[in-house]
Chains A and B, each alone.
Chain A
Amino acid sequence: MSDKKVILKVRNLTKEFKIRAQKFGEQPQILHALTDVSVDIYEGETLGIIGESGCGKSTFGKCLVQLHKATAGSVEYDGRNIFELKKEDLKNLKRDIQMVFQDPFSSLDPRMTAGKLVEEPMIVHKVVTDKAERSRKALELLQTVGLDVQHVHRYPHEFSGGQRQRINVARALALNPKLIVCDEPVSALDVSIQAQVLNLFNQLQKEYNLTYVFISHDLSVIKHISDRIAIMYLGRIVELCDANSIYENPLHPYTQALLSAIPPESPFEKRERIVLSGEIPSPIGEQKGCPLAKRCPKCMERCKTDAPQLKDVGDGHHVACFLFDDK
C-alpha cells in the first residue's frame, strides 16, 4: 500500500452539530456526527464507506467537499490543509473534488436542459469561456456517460432516474476532478439500472484515473465497486480493510453483526444471525467509551470507559476494538 500516492489525508476529522436549546436558558446540546475520523485515501482507488443511517457517512462526504464546516481535524490535499485555504485556492480545490448526490430527482435544476446543466460548472469556474467550445464539451461529456445528441436539449423531467444520475456524473466530470465523492448514487435506482450506473463508474475510473469516495448502505454494492471499505458506526470508523477481507474475515463485532443481517444470496443459504440488542444509541450528548459497548456481545469492562482507536492488525486491516489490542 505504501507505494501508492496518498491523495487525501484525513486526520482526526470531527464534526459536531449544536442543537438549539428547547427552553430559554438551557445549554444547547451537542450532536457528535463525526468523531476522530482518520483515513488515507490513495490515488486511483475507491474507498467505500458503509454504515446504517445516522452513522455519519454522509456528513463525512459533505465535510470533504466542504458543504459542512468541520469542527476539528484536518484534511490534507496536495500537502495543504483544505480547511485553511482561502478564495482562489479554495475555488481551485473545489474543482478537483466533486460530488454526486443521492437523489437524481432533486439534484438537477428542473428549468435547465441537460446541456446547460453540464455547462453550468464550467461557467461557474470559468474553465471554458468560449460558448461554442463549451457546448461542444458538454455534448462530449454527455456522450462519455452514455447519453446522446438528442438528449442535450431535454429537461430533467424527460429523463429516467438512471439517465438523470448520468447527467449528474457528467456535471461532476465537467471540471476534470481528481476525486469524486459519491453519496449513495445508486440507492434510488432499480437493480438493472443500478448495474448500468455502477459499470459506468468503473469505466470512468479507468479512463480518467479517478479516485472515488463511495458512500452507500448497500454492502453488496460497496463490495462490488470498492478497493477498500470503511465501516462506520456512530460517527467513527470501526473497521477499515480490503474489500475482499471484509467478507472473508470481518473482525469488529459490529461488522460481523452487519454482515449477518444481510439477506442471503440464495434460498439455499442459511445464515446464523448475530443479534445486536437494542437500537443505535443517540449521538447527542457526551460520548463515553466504545460506541458499541451497550450492544456488543463481547463487551468488556474497559469498553465502557475508553474509546478504542483504529489500529493496524496486519495487511492494512484496521480495527477499532480492544479485542485486538494485544495483536
Chain B
Amino acid sequence: MSENLLTVKDLKTYFFTASGVSKAVDGVSFTLKKGETMGIVGESGSGKSVTASSIIRLLPPKIGRIVEGTIDFEGKDIIKLNKKELLNFRGKDIAVIFQDPMTSLDPVFKIGNQMVEMICAHQDVSKEEARKMAVEALKKVGIPQPEKRMESYPYELSGGMCQRVIIAMAVCCKPKMVIADEPTTALDVTVQAQVLELLQELQDEMDTSILLITHNLGVVWKMCDTVMVLYAGKTVEYADTKTLYAQPLHPYTWGLLDSMPKLSDTVKGELNTIPGVPPDLRLTGNCCNFYNRCPYAQERCGKEVPELVEVEPGHFVACHRQNKENKLVRGEENRNE
C-alpha cells in the first residue's frame, strides 16, 4: 500500500462555552493514505465538520481549542504550526470545499478575481499567469466558456456551477489533500452525480487524497475506499468501505444502515429506527455515548468508555461487546439479558 499522508490520533477538540465545555470531538483517530478517499459519516452534531476544521486549524478563536491529540501531515505536526506556516499550509497542501456553494464565494467579486487572488496568495506567479491558470482550471472542471465565466458574479451561476468553481479553486494549487465538507448536500441528485464524478476524475489525474464528509451513505459507497463512522464526537467504527457494508460491527452503524429507506425494497413497511436522540455533548465522556440508545447495552457500557480496538485487521470498533475473542452478532439478543 502507499504511504500515509495524514494521521490523526486521539484528536479532542472542545468548545468552551458559557454553559459548559462541549466535547465536539472527543477521540477521533484515523489515517488517510496517498491517493485514497476516506468518508466520514455521522449525524449532525457528531463532530464531522469540527474534525475537518481542526485539521486545517480553522476553529473559532478563543472558544474552540484542540485539547489533545496529534495531527500528523507528512511528518509535520499541524497543531504546532505557527501563523505563517499555517498560511502556507492551508490552500496549498490542503484545500477545502465547503457545503454551501452559494455562500462560500464572495458575492461582490467576479469569480475570476477571486480565483486570481487565491492563486497569487499561494504561488509565485504574476497576475496574467494566474489568470491563465484560473481559466485552465475552470476548463478542467467542465465549465463552458471559461473566459466569459471569469467575468461573472457568483449569483449568475447555478449551485452546481458554483460548486465547480470552488472545486476549480481548490485544485488549481495542486493540493496533496482535499477536504470536501458535504460538497453535494445542497445539490440535486443529477448535479450531485456530476460533481462527484468530477472529484473522482481530478483525483485520478493528480493523485490527491480526499477526505469526504457526508451524511449520505450512498455517496460513501460510490466514492470512498475507507469510511469512519462518528457518533457524539467519537470514532465508533473505522474500516474499509466494503467491510463496513458487508460486516458492520458497531450497533450504531447497524442502526444507521437500517434507518435508510432503500430503493430496492418492494414492501412498504416500517423503517427500523434508533430510539431516542443523540446525547448532550456537554455531558458525554464517562460512559459509552451510545449507551442509552443501544439495544445491546450492558451494565459495563454505562460505566466505562469503550476504546477503539482493531477487531479484525484494518477494522476498528469502539464497543465493549465487540472484541477479538467475543463478537456480538447483529440482532442476536436484546437488551439486558
A→B interface (CB under 8 Å): 52-53, 160, 162, 190-196, 198-199, 202, 217, 219-221, 223-225, 227, 243-244, 247, 257-258, 260-269, 273, 276, 279
**B265 with A223: CB separation less than 8 A:** yes
* A/B interface sample: 5 pairs, CB < 8 A: A223-B265, A224-B261, A263-B216, A267-B242, A279-B158
Q: Which residues of A contact B190 (CB under 8 A)?
A: 52, 257-258, 261, 276
Tell me the bound Cα distance from A268 to B246 in angstroms.
10
Known contacts A223-B265, A225-B268, A160 near B277 by CB under 8 Å: yes
Query: Can you name 20 extra interface pairs (CB under 8 A) apart from A202-B268, A224-B268, A267-B222?
Result: A52-B188, A162-B277, A191-B43, A192-B43, A193-B43, A196-B273, A198-B271, A221-B261, A262-B218, A262-B263, A263-B189, A264-B221, A264-B222, A266-B245, A267-B220, A267-B221, A267-B241, A267-B242, A273-B193, A273-B197
**A262 with B271: CB separation less than 8 A:** no
Q: Which residues of A contact B224 (CB under 8 A)?
A: 267
Shortest distance between the CB of B326 and any CB in chain A (Å): 27
Q: Which residues of A contact B262 (CB under 8 A)?
A: 220, 224, 265
Shortest distance between the CB of A90 and any CB in chain B (Å): 34
Known contacts A262-B189, A263-B216, A194 near B221 by CB under 8 Å: no
Q: Which residues of A contact B161 (CB under 8 A)?
A: 279
Q: Which residues of A contact B158 (CB under 8 A)?
A: 279
| B88 interfacial by beta-carbon distance below 8 Å | no
Find the A residue at minimum CB distance from B190: A261
Tell me the bound Cα distance from A82 to B124 in angstroms.
67
Find the A residue at minimum CB distance from B227: A267
Tell me the bound Cα distance from A192 to B276 in angstroms.
9
Tell me the bound Cα distance from A269 to B263 in angstroms.
13
Contact of A195 among B188, B216, B264, B272 (CB under 8 A): B272
Known contacts A190-B215, A199-B271, A217-B188, A263 near B221 by CB under 8 Å: yes
Centre residue among B218, B221, B265, B271 by max chain A CB count within 10 A = B271
Find the B residue at minimum CB distance from A268: B242
Find the A residue at minimum CB distance from B241: A267
Find the A residue at minimum CB distance from B192: A261
Known contacts A199-B271, A202-B270, A261-B193, A247 near B263 by CB under 8 Å: yes
Tell me the bound Cα distance from A247 to B263 in angstroms.
7
Interface residue count on the B side (C-beta < 8 Å): 44
Shortest distance between the CB of A54 and any CB in chain B (Å): 9
**A192 with B259: CB separation less than 8 A:** yes
**A247 with B264: CB separation less than 8 A:** yes
Which residues in window 232-286 of B have CB below 8 A to A?
241-242, 245, 255-256, 258-266, 268, 270-274, 277
Q: Which residues of B contact A196 (CB under 8 A)?
A: 273
Tell me the bound Cα distance from A261 to B160 in angstroms.
14
Q: Which residues of A contact B103 (CB under 8 A)?
A: none
Q: Which residues of B contact A202 (CB under 8 A)?
A: 268, 270
Q: Which residues of A contact B272 (CB under 8 A)?
A: 195
Known contacts A194-B259, A247-B264, A269 near B221 by CB under 8 Å: yes
Tell me the bound Cα distance from A258 to B188 in angstroms.
10
**A265 with B263: CB separation less than 8 A:** yes
| B219 interfacial by beta-carbon distance below 8 Å | yes
**B242 with A224: CB separation less than 8 A:** no
Q: Is the interface of A mostly helix, strand, loop or mixed?
A: helix
| B44 interfacial by beta-carbon distance below 8 Å | yes
Centre residue among A202, A219, A261, A268 by max chain B CB count within 10 A = A261
Tell me the bound Cα distance from A140 to B150 in angstroms.
59
Q: Which residues of A contact B273 (CB under 8 A)?
A: 192, 195-196, 199
Centre residue among B191, B215, B224 by max chain A CB count within 10 A = B191
4 nearest A-B residue pairs (beta carbon): A263-B218, A224-B261, A195-B259, A261-B193
Q: Which residues of B contact A217 (CB under 8 A)?
A: 188-189
Shortest distance between the CB of B188 and any CB in chain A (Å): 4
Contact of A279 among B160, B216, B259 (CB under 8 A): B160
Q: Which residues of A contact B266 (CB under 8 A)?
A: 244
Find the B residue at minimum CB distance from A223: B263
Shortest distance between the CB of B121 and any CB in chain A (Å): 31
Shortest distance between the CB of B96 and any CB in chain A (Å): 22
Q: Which residues of A contact B263 (CB under 8 A)?
A: 219-220, 223, 247, 262, 265
Shortest distance between the CB of B76 and any CB in chain A (Å): 33
Centre residue among B44, B224, B272 by max chain A CB count within 10 A = B44
Tell me the bound Cα distance from A217 to B161 in angstroms.
19
Q: Which residues of B contact A224 (CB under 8 A)?
A: 261-262, 265, 268, 271
Tell me the bound Cα distance from A162 to B274 in angstroms.
13
**B218 with A264: CB separation less than 8 A:** yes
Tell me the bound Cα distance from A291 to B205 in angstroms.
36
Q: Which residues of B contact A262 (CB under 8 A)?
A: 189, 193, 218, 263
Tell me the bound Cα distance from A52 to B189 in angstroms.
8
Tell me the bound Cα distance from A191 to B256 in angstroms.
7
Shortest distance between the CB of A212 and any CB in chain B (Å): 12
**B44 with A219: CB separation less than 8 A:** no
Centre residue among A195, A196, A217, A223 by max chain B CB count within 10 A = A195
| B205-228 vs A, Cβ < 8 Å mask (1 yes, 0 no) | 000000000011111111010000
Find the B residue at minimum CB distance from A217: B188
**B189 with A265: CB separation less than 8 A:** no
Shortest distance between the CB of A267 and any CB in chain B (Å): 4
Find the A residue at minimum CB distance from B275: A196
